Structure 1
Amino acid sequence: MKRCLILSLWLCSLGAQAAADSLRIKQLQRCGELLGEGGQQWCLRAEGLGGGLPTVWLGGAKLPPASIEWQDDRLTLKLTHQARGSAPLWLEDGGGSSNPVWLTSQRSHVVAAASDEVAKNMDGLTTYVDLVSLLIEEKHDGLREARRIADKFGARVVGAIPPLNVYQLRLPVNDLEQRDAMILRMGSEVSVDAVIIEESAPERGEEGSGRDPGDIDQGEEWAANRFMDALYYYQRRIAASRIPVQPVRVGVIEREVDFDAPGFSDYRGGCNHAQTCLYARDGNRPSSHGTHVAGIIAAQDQGFLPGLGKQSPGFEVIVERNSDAGITANIAASVNLVEDGVRVLNWSWGIHRIGARDVKGERVDSLVRSGLAMSGYEELLEEFFLWLRAEHPDVVVVNSAGNGASWSGADEYRLPSSFITEQLLVVGGHQRSDNTVAVEDPQHVRKRHSSNIDMRVDVSAAACIHPVAGALAHCGTSYATPLVTATVAAMLSINPALTPQQLRMLLRRSALTLGTEQDFEAMDAEDLTAPILPSERGGQLNHPDLGRSARLDMQRALDLAVQSRERVR
């Protein structure tokens, strides 16, 4: 009888632990009045809640129960102006803690269309019917002007990206014909620089095609970028040199992370800054795009930043999307993250314009948009990078080159990688070749068949991962990009004074090579990246690397970051 009682208590304990570990924050976004200057209202949906009101932590403080409304799996948080502040938020209930998410006090928030608020346009693309955004000329008071235009056309201002003078309007229209007529009239307003329309249902990730075998060896792929060598170097060199490394905050523009996936199960509650901390909404698929991208940076079992070990100064990785409002939401989230102190932004996304051609002359069908949408996105992205240069010149954006086997720098057909700015690093993808040669040999890897190419690509990195048992390999520039992001974050922890221009220079100087061609052809040549120049090899005109494409060398990049710090001592 006693044994049965003990067994029963043990089973109950296991059940309680399982219930406590099932607490997950699935959604968190601004709701109510988005344009108010006072308090904020946030709507949260969770799984695994018990029968009572959970404890809600914002940073190191508990939210008072009076500021929380609770119904089933949903909480409404009402934050006063005094209580506002960007910080991680998590729940505690039944002895367990949820995944932490990032709650921003910044002002940029846009609204996503519901399923009955979208339609198919002439190109067969999903587009928003009654939600558009206005980019107001900077000399105008954006909110006042947006409200004036809204009143004139019977619309309402429902969202905003104030630092960019962008305001989202809900139009009094029922179909695309009415919408297009109204945006033509709004676009003719003297104060309106551009009208931005959204062409996106929830987007698939920018992964490549599935033409690769399922037996990809991830360790071998990453060895081509000296992944483990870089970890070993950081752990030993930082300790030996006693460099006072600094914490770095990283932003990842993705929807969610599956906290049941290997490598994420221990990310619970607050961040003690001892090691890497991850803030994200919880997803249901370990094979999701966001889980893969965030995992390369921050998974505890194989992510680069946690692998830095006890020498790590503490990294905060914020996975954020703002809402499902397409490219506009990506930019709104990016603005908030930058204002919250992020130094490195990971953009594993991009779009092609309808009509783009790949290197074989075939039409690109990867993440295409119409010319009308592309023109608005181009204006929005241009405004973002102008703001970044003026207000946050130390921030660097790391962007995937794309998987259309096309040209990444074709500004009429590819965004955002085609932008020419020091604060944008563009990453192509390579894959392990069949050649049995040393890592240093250019033939150690081959160009990833679907990777976009040309002079605008700054560096390439391993594009293939094998994340979960039984799953096929995932390949694409989306997964090459976070390898560069993690490297840049580690470089900044060593020398926070490095500028985006210097980071690019060090990545290129430290790069390994790939490819056989040694030439300086026209911009439409099929080079994977911009060819390595004599200035990137110490002025040696006969150096064998010249003219070849640049391949990320994570260990050497960290070494140059250390040297850059030692030179200024």
Structure 2
Amino acid sequence: MPLIAPRCPICLLLALLPSLIPAAHAENALRIEQLQRCGDLLEQERQEFCLRIRGLEDGDLRVSLGERELPAASIRREGEQLRLSLASADHRSAPLWLEQGERRSNPVWLSLRGSHVLAATPAEVAKNMDGLTTYVDLVSLIIEERFDGLKEARRLADKYGARVVGAIAPLNTYQLRLPVKNLTERDALLLRLGSETSVDAVIVEESAAEGEAEAEPAQEKPDQDEWAANRFVDAVNYYRRRIPAGESPIKPTPIRIGIIERNVDFDAPDFARYLGDCRPQQPRTCLYARDADKPDNHGSTVTGILAAHWDKGGNTGFLSGLEKASGGFEVIVERNSDAGITANIAASVNLVEDGVRVLNWSWGIHRVGAKDIQGDEVDSLIRSGLAMSGYEELLEEFFLWLRSKHPDVVVVNSAGNGSSFSGTDEYRLPSSFVTDQLLVVGGHQRSGRTDVAVDDPAYVTKRSSSNIDMRVDITASACAHASTLRADQRGEVHCGTSYATPMVTGIVAAMLSINPTLTPEQLRMLLRRSAMTIGGDYDFEPMDADDLTAPILPSERNYELNNEDVGRSARLDMQKALDLAVQSRDRVR
């Protein structure tokens, strides 16, 4: 006879309680949902920042920036909005968070570096001839380096009846609001601006008022633990044991990482421990980000691969797994504004000037008409030729600036999910740039074979949506579980090169914590030397042009011409990469 549960209202309530707690907690939470420069964006001596807060109540409010509590005189409260006025000389870039009673907000990174561009409102965009959403009256000018950028931008603005409203000063790039009402007027004025001898390029932004995340076409999502293909757990175990090793311990270096994403959901158990003050010197991993309204968004999944708390939710963060042994990691999630690619670069410039060593770019765009490997047109994340030419110039200025001013910084970029060619500059940005400071990451998935070891090329297979070719440096597992609002619940599987990228970002950060003198060129070399393989032995000339990464060379296998890895594509081996980073310290000494 089957057992029947008694009709017990209290029992029923207790059974439902775990599912109700996250919702109640989120409703009463104190969260910073937005932080942006406001007021005069060109003012540097005293900068203003506007915050949108959820859960703000009447009563005392403490606002902390770094280790200092901000005085009440610098804070103006307007309902759920806060406006901060900070003297640049008195402060430095640091995490900012709020406290009210016993509640603490998520910490966000407040940069005083000054690069910021405005996003268009829904009323300030229109559809162009390609059917793409484009900004009508906001454009950016890259001023020739021999000119004083701000002075020249203001001269041009006066000449054409425009206003300078934003800037990326280190790149001599300035944003103008034009006196136009439609695309016909805009394009006519762009021709005149572009013909000015002081203007290197004009950047037209093509994105909606709310930006989009890079996604891959729907296809099968594997259920297996994909990270085993990159020896994720082996790498965590190695780091925890090797760094404090009794005979030859290593003093790890604190590393700061920047992620170009919009926000992270701090109501998810994966991220709840990062609320309030976080001190990486303990050492531990710290996370600074705006709060999202759902746990399975793009930013939360990308960030979770690096920083999710272990055994609490749907994800497992690599850097958080290294705690106690590490020197501390700071993960900054920042996107500047919703002004598309231009904002991504503005945020990247600020982060680099704030000391970030590794930038995670899980984004990219294709030119209209780009072909995939089957000869069909790519239909996601496409931009017009006009926009692509401006973006290309902006990215070139960024990497030239990196090489000149910050040669130790490395950018890790997703190869893309268009089943296309990542290295063709006519088709895709930014992965087509050839520079030592840009690592490009493709995606693979488990093959399902159980009769082969993890280091066998047949252990994984190419993710069919992943972009390919010689410009891709390495592949990593493309699928990860999203975060959830319920503790101990695994979220839906998300796949794409967006999620392969932070796997490489995390291992690069860990390698730098072991040996901070490693250059971007050396990091790439160690990643390739330590790599496992994927795919068949093509002898350098794959007949079907289906080479996923640049083929492994004999020089990456101790010049062994007959090594079985030669000619195959490179697959991330996280544990061996850490081992080579340790060995690189001995070579320096």
Tell me the TM-score range normalised by the shorter chain. over 0.9
In structure 1, the residue matched to 2:4 is: none
What is the Cα deviation at residue 52 of structure 1? Answer: 2.3
| 1:546 matched to 2:566 | yes
1:381 and 1:476 mapped to 2: Cα distance? 23
State the partner residue of 1:8. none
Alignment correspondent of 2:151: 144
Match of 1:409 among 423, 438, 451: 423
Structure-2 change in CA distance of 1:453 and 1:19 (3 Å): closer
Match of residue 293, structure 1, among 283, 288, 302 = 302
* TM, length-normalised to structure 2: 0.92
C-alpha displacement at 1:260, in angstroms? Answer: 1.1
Aligned-partner Cα distance in 1 for 2:257–2:303: 10
Cα pair 1:454 1:523 within 8 Å, conserved: no
2:192 pairs with 1:185? yes
Q: Shift of the alpha carbon at 1:84?
A: 2.8
> Counterparts of 1:82 and 1:465 in 2: how far apart (Å)?
43
In the alignment, does 2:216 pair up with 1:211? Answer: no
- C-alpha displacement of 1:259: 0.6
- 1:162-207 Cα deviation digits (max 9, x unpaired): 0000000000000000000001100000000000000001232212
Q: 5 Å matches for 1:332-343?
A: 332-343=346-357
Letter in 1 for 2:233: M
Residue 228 of structure 1: aligned partner: 233
Aligned positions of 1:77-116 closer than 5 A? 77-116=84-123
- 2:375 aligned partner: 361
Shift of 1:543: 0.2
The farther-off stretch of 59-68 and 163-172 is 59-68
Distance 1:59 1:464 in 2: 35
- Answering whether residue 250 of structure 2 is matched by residue 243 of structure 1, we say yes
Q: Which residue of 1 aligns with 2:459?
A: 444
Runs of 4+ off more than 4 Å: 17-21, 468-471
Q: 1:382 to 1:522 in 2, by over 3 A?
A: farther
Q: How does 1:144-183 map to 2 (within 5 A)?
A: 144-183=151-190
Provide the C-alpha distance between the structure 2 equivalents of 1:134 and 1:167, rounded to a whole number of angstroms. Answer: 5
Give the counterpart letter for 2:522 in structure 1. Answer: Q
Task: Quote how far apart the aligned CAs of 1:528 are.
Answer: 0.3
SS at match of 2:499: helix
Correspondence 1:480 to 2:500:
yes
Q: What is the match of residue 14 of structure 2? A: none
Partner residue, 2:322: 308
- Offset, 1:526: 1.4
Residue 6 of structure 1 corresponds to none
Aligned-pair CA distance for 1:18: 4.5
Deviations 1:294-327 (A, max 9, x none): 1001111210001013101100000000000000
Amino acid at match of 1:281: R
Pick closer, same or farther for the CA change 1:510–1:470 going to 2, 3 Å. closer
- How far the C-alpha of 1:20 sits from its partner, in A, is 9.9
Query: 2:96, 2:109 within 8 Å by CA — same for their partners in 1?
Result: yes
Matched position secondary structure for 2:244? helix
Amino acid at match of 1:232: N
Distance 1:475 1:37 in 2: 42
Cα distance in structure 1, aligned partners of 2:377 and 2:364: 17
CA distance in 2, matches of 1:20, 1:121: 41
Q: Name the counterpart of 2:5.
A: none
User: For 2:428 and 2:544, how far apart are their aligned partners in 1?
Assistant: 14
Please state how far the C-alpha of 1:568 moved relative to its aligned partner.
1.8
**Per-residue deviation at 1:470?**
7.0
Q: Which moved more, 1:423-432 or 1:239-248?
A: 239-248
Say whether residues 1:67 and 2:74 are aligned partners: yes
Shift in Å, 1:272: 1.5
Instruction: Find the counterpart in structure 1 of residue 516 from structure 2.
Output: 496
Cα distance in 2, alignment partners of residues 71 and 63 from structure 1: 17
Gaps of 5+ in 2: 1-16, 311-315
- Equivalent residue in structure 2 for 1:44, among 21, 46, 51: 51
Using the alignment, how far apart are the partners of 2:490 and 2:99 within structure 1?
Answer: 34
- 8 Å CA contact retained: 2:255, 2:330: yes
- Per-residue deviation, residues 330-361 of structure 1 (Å, max 9, x unmatched): 00000000000000000000000000000000
CA-CA distance at 1:519 after TM superposition: 1.8
Q: Any idea what the Cα deviations from partners look like across 1:88-136, whole Å, max 9, x if unmatched?
A: 0000002111000000010200000011000011111100000000000
User: Could you list the per-position Cα deviations for residues 226-249 of structure 1 after superposition, in whole angstroms to 9, with x for gaps in the alignment?
Assistant: 000000000001111311110000
Segments of structure 1 that go 5 or more residues without pairing to the other structure are: 1-10
8 Å Cα contact 1:21/1:97 also seen in 2: no
Name the SS of the counterpart of 1:465 in structure 2: strand
The alpha carbon displacement at 1:48 in A equals 1.1
Q: Is the 8 A contact 2:25 2:267 kept in 1?
A: no
Residue 323 of structure 1 corresponds to which residue in structure 2?
A: 337
Q: What secondary structure sits across from 2:202 in the alignment?
A: strand
What's the counterpart of residue 351 of structure 1? 365
* Equivalent residue pairs, number: 553
Is the deviation greater in 72-81 or in 352-361? 72-81
- Specify the code of the residue in structure 2 equivalent to 1:47: R
Aligned to 1:4: none
Matched to 1:289, the amino acid is H
Residues 401 and 428 in structure 1, CA contact (< 8 A), matched pair in contact too? yes
In structure 2, the CA distance between the partners of 1:29 and 1:53, relative to structure 1 (3 Å rule), is farther
What letter is aligned with 2:293? Answer: N
Q: Distance in 2 between matches of 1:520 and 1:53?
A: 67
Structure 2 distance, partners of 1:18, 1:262, is 11
Q: For the Cα contact (< 8 Å) 1:455–1:523, is it kept in 2?
A: no
Q: Describe how 1:530-569 pairs up with structure 2 within 5 A.
A: 530-569=550-589
Aligned to 2:546: 526
Question: One-letter code of the match for 1:111?
Answer: L
- Partner Cα separation in structure 2 for residue 331 and residue 62 of structure 1: 30
Distance in 2, Cα, partners of 1:238 & 1:471: 32
Please, what is the CA RMSD of the aligned residues? 1.7
In structure 2, the residue matched to 1:387 is 401
Change (3 A) 1:456 1:523: farther
2: CA distance, partners of 1:74 / 1:521: 59
Looking at structure 2, the residues matched to 120 and 522 of structure 1 have their Cα atoms a distance apart, in angstroms, of 41
CA offsets 1:506-546 (integer angstroms, 9 cap, x no match): 00000000001332128992100000000000010100000
Distance 1:508 1:165, change over 3 A: same
Q: Secondary structure at the match of 2:567?
A: coil
